[in-house]
Amino acid sequence: MNRAFAAPIHPDATLYGAPPWRFAGRSLTVLAECDGVAGLVPAPLKPVADVVRFSVHELQCDLGFGWDWAQRNPHRSQFREAVVGIAVEHEGRIGHWDPFLWTDGDAELAVGREMYGWPQRLGHMALTAPHPIRGLGVGDHVAGRVGRLTEGVFTCGVTLDREGEPDVPQPPFVGFYTERALPDPARRVLVRELFFSEMREVQVRGVYSGRATLELVAPELRALGPRRVLAGKVNAVAWVKDASIMVARIEKAF
């Protein structure tokens, strides 16, 4: 079967296949009260709080080719991401808006920008691994470091004080708003399309939380502050990403 879906249109070279995509991995997230949130959220979305999540993920994804393919091709299915996320709402539907993302995977970079509208950029990430025998537990420290090209982006960490979620309000991991911005070179217009994508079959396991640290380095992040670092957590997570709903579409000449 020819699985070619995205350029290059070749069954052995296409970067990714058609959705649904299946993800699994582990995450470090630090939650902080920040300034400048409203300035990072485009209309018609509205921020619902000034709490921003800073996450580093180590993930595996089948890229639309099935889980057997993911297991047999770790060089393509495994990657890392770092995300800055803001809780937003539109017409009563709450979701996450991610104004900044970094990844070290070419398929994630391509599908994020070409198909769904996540503003992926290349970066390099490091995340403390669980102990190979005993895993993670109370008293452990998990750190994440994010960089782009030769510069730092942000660093974060959490000392695990307890099992379970931190006592900080968080929107559920059920959906994301994204904006695809594609210049049309023939008509000389910029097409901006706002989507909502529901995350299906979400599973979260092995949650630990505790005191957290956060340092923002990249120029685009400095306006966020943060005012106060609230807490951090680590967990394993799995979900399925499929089709999206279009929320808005505009064209502007350039």
The structural domains of the chain, with segments of one domain joined by +, span: 21-168+202-241
| CA 16 to chain centroid | 17
Q: Is the pLDDT of residue 223 over 90?
A: no
At 3 the pLDDT is 66
What's the average model confidence in pLDDT over 96-102? 97
What's the average model confidence in pLDDT over 11-31? 93
- Count other C-beta atoms under 10 Å from residue 54's C-beta: 30
Identify which of 103, 107, 62 has the alpha carbon closest to the alpha carbon of residue 84: 103
Dist CA 166 CA 210 (whole Å):
7
pLDDT band of 13, cuts 50, 70, 90: confident
Dist CA 190 CA 108 (whole Å):
23
Dist CA 51 CA 29 (whole Å):
12
pLDDT band of 236, cuts 50, 70, 90: very high
pTM: 0.94
Question: What values do phi and psi take at 223, rounded to 5?
Answer: -65, -15
Q: Mind listing the pLDDT tens digit for each residue in 145-180? A: 999 999 999 999 999 999 999 998 887 788 999 999
| The pair of three-digit structure tokens given for residue 74, joined into one six-digit string | 């770790």
At 1 the pLDDT is 38
pLDDT band of 6, cuts 50, 70, 90: confident
Fold of 21-168+202-241: Acetoacetate decarboxylase-like (2.40.400)
Q: Mind listing the pLDDT tens digit for each residue in 175-213? A: 999 999 999 999 999 999 999 999 999 999 999 999 999
- Amino acid at residue number 78: Q
Q: Is the pLDDT of residue 94 over 80?
A: yes
